[in-house]
Amino acid sequence: MKLKPFALERWFGEHEFSVRYNIAESCIKPFTVSELEEICRCDLLRTTEITNLGYTDSRGSQELREEVAKLYPGRTKENVLITTGAIEANYLVFMALLRPGDVVVSEFPAYQQLYEVPRALGSEVKFWHLRSEGDYRPDIAELDSMMAASDVRMIVINHPHNPTGASLDAGSMAAICEIAEQYGAALLSDEVYRGLTLIDGINTPSAQLFSDNAITVGSMSKAFGLSGLRVGWIVGPNDVIDKCWAIRDYTSICPPGPSQAIALSALRNAGSIMARNTFLARKNFSILKQWIDSNADIVSWTPPYEGVVAFVKCGVGAGSLQVAGELANVDSVLVVPGTCFEVEGYFRIGFGGDTDILETGLNLTAKRLRAM
Ligand SMILES: Cc1ncc(COP(=O)(O)O)c(C=O)c1O
């Protein structure tokens, strides 16, 4: 198995912890332990059931699986496998279900893992393009004709979407689930960005609502602001969960106990956590909107609907890698160049962090763009 370098993660690896103004992240501002303890009104590691520092149940703790299952009506803990972040969840699903020669339909642009791992496993990946003219919403008729044209083993979608923030309405999610069923293809729905709504009433539903065969991946990283826990999950049919569970013996053996304990407390206090996170996301979103409006001669966008990332088109001549490189090295500002998503002329801005860092980072970005 030969994996190409993961451009986005390499970019973060190089710059994330050396810049002052990080406006590239895809997560809401992370919690500190004391902030989370205040919200959850408990000592995070001592008041939950999972206190052991030894190996844990390799499917994930029973309590946490039950709590995750509650997020998906009709599902039980038997449908849940706790993983080391969504990154392991996706990896296990690909390892469990794909064989060399399989055809995979994956949205594009996308988080690179979602098509690179299938390729490394010998699958042929066909891109289902999301277009800015169409608000980055997937074209269902196009999926239907792609499915009719070849024997597709798996459809991979990710909504709310990285890097554009595009959402998916219930009708489209239902149609994708139906097409997957009709053609006998597996559906992997990476839903790590669900939960952070920017506009009342726009909220991508889970694929779990529409198909018992759908495989959904979720995480504590993005909407909850707890990426350091490295807790994610797979929700799906029992046979898929069992296959993924058997493969995780080779990847991480079991999820970490302390992280699961904290994740459990956070899920039990999801209402207060999401109130803090949604307030910040919406406040920062309006600052980003103002910035785009007042710099309309050099930047433009199709605004995001959910989550805290936006894909911004850059109207200056220089390439996105050059712009992002100067921002990182000269201005100490981190944005993600579009090249990390194989799209030139764009950069991804993450607006979930501290408001003052966002404001300073955006001002420096506009100055740099005008100087290029
Ligand atoms: C679409 C998508 N899936 C999965 C992940 C990995 O998330 P986690 O931190 O839960 O491993 C990311 C991280 O950026 C992502 O954007």
Q: Give the tens place of pLDDT for each residue, 344-368.
A: 999 999 999 999 999 999 999 999 9
Centroid of ligand 1 to alpha carbon of 69 (angstroms): 20
Same domain assignment for residues 182 and 115 = yes
Residue 48 has pLDDT above 60, yes or no: no
- 346 neighbors 338 (Cβ within 8 angstroms): yes
User: Which residue is closest in CA terms to ligand 1's atom 2?
Assistant: 111
Residue with the smallest CA separation from ligand 1 atom 15 is 111
Tell me how far the alpha carbon of residue 148 lies from the centroid of ligand 1, in angstroms: 30
CB-based contact 334:188 (threshold 8 Å): no
State the closest ligand 1 atom to the C-alpha of 111, by its place in the atom list counted from 1: 1
Cβ(192) – ligand 1 distance below 6 Å: yes
| Residue 124, pLDDT score | 98
Find the 146 Cα to ligand 1 centroid distance in Å. Answer: 26
Pocket of ligand 1 contains residue 158 by CB under 6 Å: yes
Residue 1 lies in a domain: no
Q: How far apart are the first and last CA of the chain?
A: 41
pLDDT at position 317 is 78
Query: How far does residue 267's CA lie from ligand 1's centre (Å)?
Result: 18
Ligand 1 atom with the smallest distance to the CA of 220 is 10
Work out the average pLDDT over 26-45: 92
Q: Domain check: are 220 and 92 in the same one?
A: yes
How far apart CA 244 and CA 200 sit, in angstroms, is: 36
- Residues 302 and 238 reside in one and the same domain: no
| 336 in a structural domain | yes
- Which CATH number is 262's domain given? 3.40.640.10
Query: Quick one: 62 and 172 in the same domain?
Result: yes
Closest residue by CA, ligand 1 atom 1: 111
Give the pLDDT of residue 316: 80
Cα 149 to averaged position of ligand 1 atoms, centre (Å) = 30
- The pLDDT value recorded for residue 41 is 87
The tokens describing 288, both together, are: 């980003």
Nearest protein CA to atom 14 of ligand 1, as residue: 26
238 and 126 part of one domain: yes
Task: Tally Cβ neighbours within 10 Å of residue 223.
Answer: 28
Read off the pLDDT of each residue in 246-257 and give the average, rounded to a whole number: 96
pLDDT in tens, 193-244: 999 999 999 999 999 999 999 999 999 999 999 999 999 999 999 999 999 9
Q: Which residues pair with 197 in a beta bridge?
A: 306
Element (H, E) at 262: helix 257-268
Within a domain: residue 39? no
Domain hosting residue 144, numbered range: 45-269
Report whether pLDDT(50) > 80.
no
- The pLDDT tens digits for 332-342 are 999 999 999 99
Give 124-133 pLDDT, tens digit per residue: 999 999 999 8
pLDDT of amino acid 42:
83
Confidence (pLDDT) at 125: 98
- pLDDT value for 1: 86
225 — phi, psi (to 5°)? Answer: 70, 35
Q: Which pLDDT does position 338 carry in this prediction? A: 96
* Cα gap 34→302, rounded to integer Å: 37
Distance in Å, CA 182 to ligand 1 centroid = 28
Claim to verify: residue 163 and residue 278 sit in the same structural domain: no
**pLDDT, position 51:** 66
Number of domains composing the chain:
2
Q: Is the CB of 87 under 6 A from ligand 1?
A: yes
Give me the residues paired with residue 129 across strands.
108
Among the three residues 240, 269, 298, which one is the final residue of a domain in this structure? 269
Confidence of residue 47 (pLDDT cuts 50, 70, 90): low
Average pLDDT over residues 272-277: 97
DSSP codes of every residue in 104-144: EEEEES--THHHHHHHHTTPEEEEEE--GGGTT---HHHHH
- Ligand 1 close to Cβ of residue 219 (< 6 A): yes
| Residue after which a domain boundary falls, among 269, 289, 313 | 269
Within this chain, do residues 90 and 120 fall inside the same structural domain, yes or no?
yes
Q: How far apart are CA 136 and CA 312, in angstroms?
A: 13
CA of 164 to the centre of ligand 1 (A): 14
CA–CA distance, 160 with 58 (Å, rounded to integer): 29
pLDDT at position 49, please? 60
Ligand 1, residues 83, 94, 192: which to mutate, most atoms within 8 A of Cβ? 192
195 and 70 within one domain? yes
The answer to whether position 37 is within a domain reads no
Residue-wise pLDDT tens digits, 51-106:
678 899 999 999 999 999 999 999 999 999 999 999 999 999 999 999 999 999 99
Distances (CA, A) of 13 to 72, 81, 99, 221, 336: 34, 28, 31, 17, 12
The answer on 301 and 177 residing in a single domain is no
Shared domain check, 364 and 330: yes
| Best of 25, 68, 111 for a ligand 1 pocket test (most atoms within 8 Å of beta carbon) | 111
Share of residues in the chain with pLDDT > 70 (%): 99
Domain co-membership, 331 together with 262:
no
> Using one digit for the tens of pLDDT, what is the confidence trace for 147-160?
999 999 999 999 99
| 22, 69: one domain | no
Instruction: Judge if the beta carbon of residue 232 lies within 6 A of ligand 1.
Output: yes
- State which of 269, 287, 312 marks the end of a domain: 269
Decide: 226 in ligand 1 pocket, CB within 6 A: no
pTM of this prediction exceeds 0.95:
yes
